[in-house]
Structure 1
Amino acid sequence: MKNYRLERLSSQPIIQTADVQPFIEGYDVLGAFNPAACQFGDEILLLLRVAEAPKAEKGYIAIPIIEEQDGVPTLVVKKFKEPDGDYDPRVVTIDGKVYLTSISYLRIARSRDGVNFTIDAKPFLFPTRMDESYGVEDARITYLDGKYWITYTAVSEHGPGVGLAVTTDFVSVERVGMVLPPPNKDVALFPEKINGNYVLLHRPMVSDIGKPSVWLAESEDGIHWGNHRFLFGGRGLVDTKFEWEGGKIGAGPEPILTDEGWLVCYHGADPTHAYSLALALLDKNDPSIILDRSEAPLLTPELPWEREGFFPNVVFSNGWVRRPDGTIWVYYGAADSGVGLAKLIQE
């Protein structure tokens, strides 16, 4: 992939956390980041991941969570005494149970020029199911069969799974449900059927054996998935020059079909959890065949707002758009705190 590079179109974030007002009364917005992206009519739409948390109370930790009340999933706040000593302010373990200290949902940002965005006042997709009880995160959008398919990470006490929703107008949305159970995430649906089947990229999560890796799966209906196959993993374990993807790896936005094949943007993380962006090229008719892959990352966290934030040293993309002139604009989350914009250039 030596003939591609990513060039920032702005030295500043195009969306910052401060640009987003909280939706939930009594909460603060901790981050607005990792947007899915698509062209919709004459607008570019982003599905921002917005993380909100209850306002802090000294000496206590407030946990936002969906719980069933009279059979109805309802947002509640559980309060616990603050642990002694240092602790991770994002993830805490209390009485042996792991909690998130914020809850994420998806919110639409709209733009006609792709740079200046207005942000809807209300969520587009808010956690309303028990398998989303910890939040809805990091969506991808694929236009297929006359509708927009939205895959997202549905997080609960059982771990992250993959939810699916569909819309035709970005006003109403139909939840299909969880299509891949925990632990799994980073699902990108191909924008057309291949050999008669729907195809997606996903990332099963591993424990003692193996490392995170990108897999393929197929489906006849887009809901029930099988024929799961390993596609590629991080090369950092066997070659130190690939340390930038030696910790974690996962697919980004939906693949884009080019003359050479399917272009895939993916993220890699090094052992220090610094995230970078890279590309892979898959065969048009058989995406299990890897034709090419980045030897070095195309974008790494370098600017202050990419290096400092809610989760530092991160550039993470799950949204890109092909512009009318054929160029590809890449929207990326920066340090879990804002959104940057880069252009993919083929030389």
Structure 2
Amino acid sequence: MIAVKKEGILIQKTELNFENEGVLNPAIIRDGDYVHLFYRAVSLGNFSSIGYCKLKGPLSVEIRDIAPVIVSEFSYESHGLEDPRIVKIENIYYLSYTAYDGVNALGTMATSTDLVNWDKKGIIVPQITYDEFNAITSNNKINEKYFRYNNHEGVTKKQGEKVLMWDKNIILFPRKIDDKYVFLHRIKPDVQIVVAVKSLEELNPQFWKNYFIKFDECIVMKPKYEHEASYIGGGCPPIETKLGWLIIYHGVQDTIKGFVYSACAALLDLKNPMKEIARLPYPLFKPELIWELKGEVNNVCFPTGTALFNDTLYIYYGAADERIGTASVSISKLLEELMLNTLKNEK
């Protein structure tokens, strides 16, 4: 098994109004010796905004803002901005997050050229009900769990709003492939992929209707091992290596103690990321320490960003939905371990 070092708690909630309930699930981007961290900050009543801190090196907090840097402005995000991820493509920063209006949680995008001023692009995922999704995908062979996780127990309206199918964990690849944007997204219980998009403006209702007609061909990863038996979801932005795209994602297992969220690792093909090359058959790391086991939501290690310093990959994650922790691993050894667990090496 690969050796992972738990570096400890990076930051915790404060008495400031915007983050007095928790800090978690940060977007991470490295710039030289510094690491920028955009994190989900939770206030009383479970209203989320995005806070910011700047690290010198992978672990030392140098600056931490005393107010959120991105806040709710529109009705679709009236209850909060959750779980951001960030990449830089051709001098533009793309920050994806989940917009929550108190009823629906949907993938959203904002862009920036300076990490200070953000241009919100709005919701980029389909805004359809589960019944509409089911009708379009009726000829697909998909897991029955899609019904369990997405029909919202048959509730079609809540607080006067139409209940939509939740589509979260929007994660862009950090460069274009064949001059097109590629991103992961997640409709439970699998991880799906969108390929061959020239611009975000293409993601209109007709695009999604065509996409769902062949939805089973867009599922890039499905739950496979015990620690991810319930469902899986995107974690950190893909990391380009010589062997493939390194994917750090989250896997969820339903246990007698409730759901357990673990960090997991897989490898996708560089030219065709629809092709899975390898996957660890065990968690990369899981909740073990008291601050991962107990919190706002118990038993959670939820990875959302990485920073690579020499051979050491630092993984930043939400711990028990209340604080932010960091783990580190040798990326070369992790890749070696993955190559021992390729699909062709499976027994």
How far does the alpha carbon of each residue in 1:253-306 deviate from its partner, in whole angstroms, 9 at most, with x for none? Answer: 110110100010110111121100111100110001100011000101000000
Q: Which residue number in structure 1 is paired with residue 142 of structure 2?
A: none
Of the three residues 311, 314, 333, the one matched with 1:329 is 314
Partner of 1:17, secondary structure, is coil
Distance 1:106 1:251 in 2: 19
Q: Which residue number in structure 2 is paired with residue 312 of structure 1?
A: 298
* 8 A Cα contact 1:179 1:224, kept in partner: no
Q: Once structures 1 and 2 are overlaid, which stretch shifts more, 102-111 or 180-189? A: 180-189
Does 2:198 match 1:215? no
Distance 2:4 2:124 in 1: 32
Does 2:171 match 1:188? yes
Distance 1:5 1:192 in 2: 29
Q: Which residue number in structure 1 is paired with residue 278 of structure 2?
A: 292
Does 2:51 match 1:51? no
Residues 143 and 5 (structure 1), Cα distance of their counterparts in 2 relative to 1, 3 Å cut: farther
Partner of 2:291, secondary structure, is helix
* 8 A Cα contact 2:58 2:307, kept in partner: no
Q: Which runs of 5+ in 1 are unaligned?
A: 54-100, 206-211, 236-241
Shift of 1:5: 4.3
Shift of 1:113: 2.3
Distance 1:248 1:135 in 2: 24
Of the three residues 225, 230, 242, the one matched with 2:219 is 230
Distance 1:160 1:342 in 2: 28
User: Normalised by the size of structure 2, how large is the TM-score?
Assistant: 0.76
Residues 47 and 216 (structure 1), Cα distance of their counterparts in 2 relative to 1, 3 Å cut: same
**One-letter amino acid matched to 1:215:** Q
**One-letter amino acid matched to 1:221:** S
Distance 2:96 2:32 in 1: 21
Does 2:4 match 1:13? no
**One-letter amino acid matched to 1:171:** V
* 8 A Cα contact 1:314 1:335, kept in partner: yes
* 8 A Cα contact 1:275 1:313, kept in partner: yes
Distance 1:287 1:266 in 2: 15
Shift of 1:42: 3.6
Distance 2:325 2:102 in 1: 31
Q: Which residue number in structure 1 is paired with residue 73 of structure 2?
A: 128
Partner of 1:252, secondary structure, is coil
* 8 A Cα contact 1:137 1:154, kept in partner: yes
Does 2:236 match 1:253? yes
Distance 1:294 1:264 in 2: 11
Q: Which residue number in structure 2 is paired with residue 267 of structure 1?
A: 250
Q: Which residue number in structure 1 is paired with residue 139 of structure 2?
A: none
Distance 2:34 2:52 in 1: 12
Distance 1:5 1:186 in 2: 27
Q: Which residue number in structure 2 is paired with residue 340 of structure 1?
A: 325
User: Normalised by the size of structure 1, how large is the TM-score?
Assistant: 0.76
- Percent identity of paired positions between Structure 1 and Structure 2: 31
Q: Which residue number in structure 2 is paired with residue 175 of structure 1?
A: 120
* 8 A Cα contact 1:22 1:29, kept in partner: yes
Q: Which residue number in structure 2 is paired with residue 36 of structure 1?
A: 27
Map 1:112-123 onto structure 2 (within 5 A).
112-117=56-61, 118-123=63-68
* 8 A Cα contact 2:108 2:170, kept in partner: no
Kindly indicate which of the two structures has a greater share of residues assigned to helix. Answer: 2
Partner of 1:306, secondary structure, is helix
Does 2:265 match 1:279? yes
Kindly indicate which of the two structures has a greater share of residues assigned to strand. Answer: 1
Distance 2:115 2:79 in 1: 23
* 8 A Cα contact 1:314 1:333, kept in partner: yes
Distance 1:257 1:121 in 2: 34
Distance 1:29 1:267 in 2: 26
Cα RMSD (Å): 1.7
Map 1:102-113 onto structure 2 (within 5 A).
102-113=46-57
Aligned residues: 278
Partner of 1:296, secondary structure, is coil
Q: Which residue number in structure 1 is paired with residue 336 of structure 2?
A: none
Partner of 1:274, secondary structure, is strand
Q: Which residue number in structure 1 is paired with residue 138 of structure 2?
A: none
Shift of 1:7: 2.1
**One-letter amino acid matched to 1:277:** A
**One-letter amino acid matched to 2:271:** N
Distance 1:342 1:102 in 2: 26
**One-letter amino acid matched to 1:252:** G
